[in-house]
Amino acid sequence: MAITAETGKVVQWRRWAFANLGSVLSNFGSLWFLLAPLLAAYAPRRLFKTYFDLFLRRHARRLLAVVDPYVTVDISEPGGSVHYSRYGRVTEHDNTYEEVKAYLSDTCAEEARELRAEGAPEGDGVVISMRDGQDVADEFRGATVWWTSVVRENSQGQQRAHTRQCQRLTFHQRDRRLVVDEYLPHVRRKGREILFTNRRRRLYTNNKSCDSFRYDYKAWSYIDFDHPTTFDTLALDTAKKREIIDDLDAFRSNRDFYRRAGKPWKRGYLLYGPPGTGKSTMIAAMANYLDYDIYDVELTVVKDNNDLRRLLIETTSKSIIVIEDIDCSLDLTGDRATQQRRRQQDRGNSSSRDDSNRRDSSMVTLSGLLNFIDGLWSACGGERIVVFTTNHVDKLDAALIRRGRMDMHIEMSYCSFEAFKTLAKNYLDVDEHRLFGSVDEILSRDSITPADVAECLMTAKRAGSGESSRLEIVVDELKQRVEANAKAKAEAEAKAKSEAETEAKAAERDRDDRPEE
């Protein structure tokens, strides 16, 4: 009975469907008439794109790799990428494009026939690069790559108002790992070396740390370094110069050794000796020989150890970090007990004047300076030389100048006869003369600094006309310098003796005046 009722309902539904089929088809036909143009214009293309993205793109790429197995990489010149920090406007600059352009200018531009010349950022030279559309080939470990200079275009095919140059690298797919992992880093390293070599050397000095709150504060300011001194013109014994040059060559060429030995790529030099013996001139000769920048650190304007660390971080590789007269810059003597007593006295003095002086004075400590030279932060970057100069090496703390921090101790002593011959060649263009024997006798008997000898040669150059007369003037000037130095030394000794006697008498009076307990 239930089955008969269900069958009746099905038959009834079918009759209703056939009865209304015409009206449904007519309504659908009118709706299709409206939607058909839109579907014809949109649906097939959209469906094909979706199907291509989901199923065909991977197979199409594989097919394209068989037909065209070459890969391209574009290295564009940097745009005006700017962001703002809490201290103001900050511009980010990527040097990859400049490094690639320098590499191509030095290595591959000879093959290009159409070139472009641009003024060098520093100096009067020009930078030669490829014109747009030029191709050059380069080879690296058996793989051939091609460089093309192009101009970036927008999607409409028209050049942008601010066009951006681009160096396009093309290589075979099989060399992908070699190019990405080894060739491009090689190009950047060579480009950096070329850019560094072409620019002028710089002499940096640190700015006052008290200005660091300003948003435009820079830790270092610089001028172009154009000191003419070389090891050929340096007044120093030939054997000592050769020793220093060999040590510098070993340092510069042993990057892999330092890494293998687990040591930071740096080296320390301590230059010590009386005033006027050429310590600053030695630093200039080292910078000219290595083609390094110089960072001259003035410790008295460094606020504390943190600012000293910041100075170190902002130095570059291939540089010489110099602290001259380190025994006069801060209290870094070896008498730590005296330092401790002085600090206790300072803490006990509560006058406003002393508080102001302490706020203005440097708070750099011996520990901070040791970390600056040989701590963990000293390993940032590489290929750095640290140079200390002092007139009184015996006053420095032993921890500051031990081997490993100051690896090579160089005594800059009084002028020897061999150093005099170098100075005579520099100032008078004289290689040999009969009066050289008299000069040798004076220098071996008395202590005269190279600065005094150089002043004698300048006096002779201004006064004398002939070679013999000029050397006679030099001999006379040297004798006068010896007498003047002996007189000054005697007066200094007498003054020191008098001061010592005065202090002894004052101490004796204090003992006599002290009440007995």
Neighbours of 244 (CB within 10 A): 20
Q: Taking 60 as the threshold, does the pLDDT of residue 268 lie above it?
A: yes
Pick the closest to residue 296 from 183, 203, 173, 209 (CA basis). 203
3-state secondary structure of 350: coil
Average pLDDT over residues 84-106: 67
Query: Which has more pLDDT, 422 or 12?
Result: 422
3-state secondary structure of 95: coil
Q: Taking 80 as the threshold, does the pLDDT of residue 449 lie above it?
A: yes
Query: Which has more pLDDT, 59 or 101?
Result: 101
For residue range 353-376, list pLDDT tens digits in order: 444 444 446 688 888 888 878 777
Average pLDDT over residues 253-273: 90
Confidence of residue 88 (pLDDT cuts 50, 70, 90): very low
DSSP 134-160: -EEEEEETTEEEEEEEEE-B-TTS-B-
According to DSSP, the residues that pair with 70 across neighbouring strands are 172
Q: What is the percentage of the chain residues whose pLDDT exceeds 70?
A: 67
For residue range 117-159, list pLDDT tens digits in order: 666 666 556 666 676 777 788 889 888 898 888 876 554 444 4
Q: Taking 60 as the threshold, does the pLDDT of residue 436 lie above it?
A: yes
- The alpha carbons of the chain give a radius of gyration, in whole angstroms, of 39
How many CA atoms does the CB half-sphere of 79 hold within 13 Å?
A: 9
- Range in 235-249, 349-363, 404-418, 478-492 the model is least confident about: 349-363
CA distances from 450 to 157, 175, 289, 423 (A): 70, 60, 21, 8
CATH 3.40.50.300 location in the chain: 203-411
First-to-last C-alpha distance (Å) of the chain: 136
Q: How high is the pLDDT of residue 358?
A: 43
Q: Pull the structure tokens for residue 73.
A: 């990489």
Confidence of residue 352 (pLDDT cuts 50, 70, 90): very low
Q: Taking 80 as the threshold, does the pLDDT of residue 221 lie above it?
A: yes
Give the C-alpha separation, 469 to 159, whole Å. 75
Give the C-alpha separation, 163 to 101, whole Å. 17
Q: How high is the pLDDT of residue 205?
A: 92
Q: How high is the pLDDT of residue 22?
A: 58
For residue range 493-510, list pLDDT tens digits in order: 888 888 887 877 777 777
In terms of C-beta density within 10 A (0-12 exposed, 13-18 middle, 19 or more buried), how is residue 76 classed?
middle
- Range in 211-220, 236-245, 500-509 the model is least confident about: 211-220
According to DSSP, the residues that pair with 168 across neighbouring strands are 74, 148
Give the C-alpha separation, 323 to 517, whole Å. 50
Q: Pull the structure tokens for residue 168.
A: 């396009």
Residues 76 and 165: beta-carbon distance below 8 Å: yes
Residues 105 and 116: beta-carbon distance below 8 Å: no
Q: How high is the pLDDT of residue 157?
A: 46
Which fold does the domain 203-411 belong to in CATH?
Rossmann fold (3.40.50)
Residues 244 and 252: beta-carbon distance below 8 Å: no
Q: Pull the structure tokens for residue 465.
A: 């006309």
For residue range 173-189, list pLDDT tens digits in order: 889 899 999 999 999 98
Average pLDDT over residues 41-66: 57
Residues 435 and 402: beta-carbon distance below 8 Å: no
Confidence of residue 380 (pLDDT cuts 50, 70, 90): confident
CA distances from 384 to 147, 165, 263, 320 (A): 34, 35, 12, 6
Q: How high is the pLDDT of residue 109?
A: 60
Pick the closest to residue 323 from 402, 389, 372, 403 (CA basis). 389
DSSP class of residue 396 equals B
Q: Which parts of 275-392 fold into alpha helices (H)?
A: 279-290, 305-313, 326-329, 336-348, 352-360, 366-374
Q: Which parts of 366-416 fold into alpha helices (H)?
A: 366-374, 398-401
Q: Pull the structure tokens for residue 45.
A: 């293309």
Average pLDDT, the chain: 77
Q: How high is the pLDDT of residue 353?
A: 46
According to DSSP, the residues that pair with 266 across neighbouring strands are 384
Residues 320 and 294: beta-carbon distance below 8 Å: yes
Predicted TM-score (pTM) of this structure: 0.69
* Rounded (5°) CA angle 467-472-477: 125
Q: How high is the pLDDT of residue 486?
A: 82
Q: How high is the pLDDT of residue 113?
A: 66
Give the C-alpha separation, 480 to 459, whole Å. 12
Q: Taking 90 as the threshold, does the pLDDT of residue 281 lie above it?
A: yes
Q: How high is the pLDDT of residue 91?
A: 46
Q: What is the largest CA-CA distance in the chain?
A: 149
Residues 435 and 475: beta-carbon distance below 8 Å: yes
Residues 315 and 378: beta-carbon distance below 8 Å: no
Q: How high is the pLDDT of residue 26?
A: 57
Q: Taking 80 as the threshold, does the pLDDT of residue 513 lie above it?
A: no
Residues 301 and 364: beta-carbon distance below 8 Å: no
Q: Is the dihedral of CA 22, 26, 32, 33 positive or negative?
A: positive
